Amino acid sequence: MMPTHLAIIPDGNGRWAKKRLLPHSMGHRSGAQTLRKLSYTIEEMGIKYLTFYVFSTENWTRPADEVREFMKMIREYFQQYIDDSKKNNMRMSFIGDLTRLEPDLQEKLAILTDITKDKTGLHVVLAINYGGRDEITRAAKKLAREAVHGRIDPEKIDEAAFARALDTHPLPDPDLIIRTGGDMRLSNFLLWQLTYAEMYITDTLWPDFTEAELRKALTSFEGRARRFGGRP
């Protein structure tokens, strides 16, 4: 059984660069190329949604020059995605607090979202300035404002109502999350949505993550019994 929704934490770009005596920026660029190549493979496999952790709310604490280079890189790659959209059927959207990004970058994201909104292939969701706790906090504030203005009854706020206030609505929750680089943590990613996702951790660094590595993860997923807290 193939997952409908795949989530990825692409860890290891910096370590990949360090092993090769390269600057961190080269690791990020190599990682971006890996995403670009694998997205076509993921689409061909019939997976409907891919949510990918690009930049977290905590990543702003990294050295300023690294953050600057990273933002410069994603500007370039998003322009490539705009160009690619003329010849592929992928839809792209974004989650996270995008208001902190530079206006020109926000404009690129808006352009990509608009020109791909009617495409029916793989839906790629990129998490930028995203944090799971931040998303949940913003959702709570949104519901609180609705309640204050009388548009929602607080007593009727259930899990479904809360999920509708999240950045990821109306996407289904991920079935499988892959984390590269070997670390065993969620790193503030999709804390609500990953409640019953299957996890696959690999020591492979993200720039080295190939189609063969992806197939290993999917084979592992196929062998899981998904009980969602119940019994089969």
Euclidean distance between the first and the last CA atom of the chain, given in angstroms as a whole number? 16
Rounded Cα distance, 55 and 209, in Å:
19
- Residue 221, SS3? helix
Annotated active-site residue in 59, 84, 88, 188: 59
Q: Does the active-site annotation cover 188?
A: no
As to burial, measured by CB atoms within 10 angstroms (0-12 exposed, 13-18 middle, 19+ buried), residue 66 is middle
Cis, peptide link before residue 172, omega less than 30° from 0: no
Residue 189's nearest CA partner among 33, 51, 47 is: 51
Q: Does the active-site annotation cover 88?
A: no
Contact at 8 Å (CB) between 38 and 8?
no
Reading the block at residue 170, the tokens are 């109306």
Radius of gyration of the chain (CA): 18
Contact at 8 Å (CB) between 28 and 207?
no
Rounded Cα distance, 82 and 108, in Å:
8
Catalytic amino acids?
Answer: 11, 59
